[in-house]
Amino acid sequence: MNARPPAGPGTGSGPGTGSRSGTGSGPGTETNTTPRRRGRPPRTESADTRDRILTTARDEFSERGYEKTSVRGIAKAAGVDPALVHHYFGTKEQVFEAAITQSFAPAIEAPKAIEDGPLDGVGERLIRFFFGIWENPATRTPLLAIVRSAVTNETAAAVFRRIVATQVLRRIADRLDLPDAELRAELAAAQLVGTAMLRYVIKVEPLASADPEQIIARLAPVVQGHLTGP
């Protein structure tokens, strides 16, 4: 029987073998030399990664709705590990809230419509601001997704209510400085949301195809009455 030659450096299974530290293609080579990156990316990439995840999440929620969207699906579409989605945003509900906040950003500027002039014209200013958002396809599309998700899912509805209450209604109420300011702001919002539902979501005619100026002329006094009336 011939004796087995001793294992030399870089061969066999001893320390320094190609399958662990060299450039060979044996088992474990890629695992140890190019491990799959999980968790937090390098700082230089973190902002871009977070933005990409958030944009992807907004698109996924817009296309699929809240119930059919998953954290795993968002991660796959964004090209990242699901752990990164959880790292930046937490639960699916928190991802949805972040996506809503991004999509809802134009509407959050609504309280400024009250500041930009006297209170006796606030109804028309608020209505025009409202239609400026909904008549623009770029801002209308994500808002439609938000409203549809809120109508069909209670978790999504709770997130939507929280954002509307804290980011829009409360700020409008603070600027009114009138009795029952919160109720006034909510009644005005109900008028606007109801109009959006009938015109843009359900598309009830003739409201769905009516001239925006005609609707503004009819709604402005009503919203004005809610906000500043007796």
CA atoms within 13 A on the CB side of 128: 11
Question: With b meaning 16 or more CB within 10 Å and e meaning fewer, what string describes 153-180?
Answer: beebeebbeebbeebbbebbbebbeeee
pLDDT tens, 192-203? 889 988 999 889
What does pLDDT average to over the chain? 78
Output the pLDDT for position 168: 79
pLDDT tens, 171-197? 888 888 788 999 998 999 899 889 988
Output the pLDDT for position 30: 40
**Predicted confidence (pLDDT) at residue 205 exceeds the cutoff of 90:** yes
Round to whole Å and give the CA distance between 63 and 42. Answer: 31
Structural contact between residues 147 and 201, judged by C-beta atoms closer than 8 angstroms: yes
Of 174, 160, 144, the residue nearest 62 (C-alpha): 144
> What three-state secondary structure class fits 63?
helix
Round to whole Å and give the CA distance between 23 and 180. Answer: 73
Task: Name residue, tokens 């006297």.
Answer: 118
Structural contact between residues 189 and 112, judged by C-beta atoms closer than 8 angstroms: no
Round to whole Å and give the CA distance between 211 and 209. Answer: 7
pLDDT tens, 147-158? 878 888 888 888
Structure tokens at 31: 């695992």
**Predicted confidence (pLDDT) at residue 70 exceeds the cutoff of 70:** yes
Averaged pLDDT, 1-9 = 47
Structural contact between residues 56 and 96, judged by C-beta atoms closer than 8 angstroms: no
Averaged pLDDT, 47-61 = 87
pTM, entire model: 0.63
Check whether the bond before 42 is cis (ω within 30° of 0): no
pLDDT tens, 76-133? 999 999 999 999 999 998 998 888 777 777 777 767 767 777 778 888 988 998 898 8
Output the pLDDT for position 121: 86
Round to whole Å and give the CA distance between 19 and 30. Answer: 9
3-17, 21-35, 121-135: range with highest mean pLDDT: 121-135
- DSSP string across 127-192: HHHHHHHHTSHHHHHHHHHHHHHHHH-HHHHHHHHHHIIIIIIHHHHHHH-STTHHHHHHHHHHHH
Direct distance between the N- and C-terminal alpha carbons of the chain, in angstroms, rounded to an integer = 109
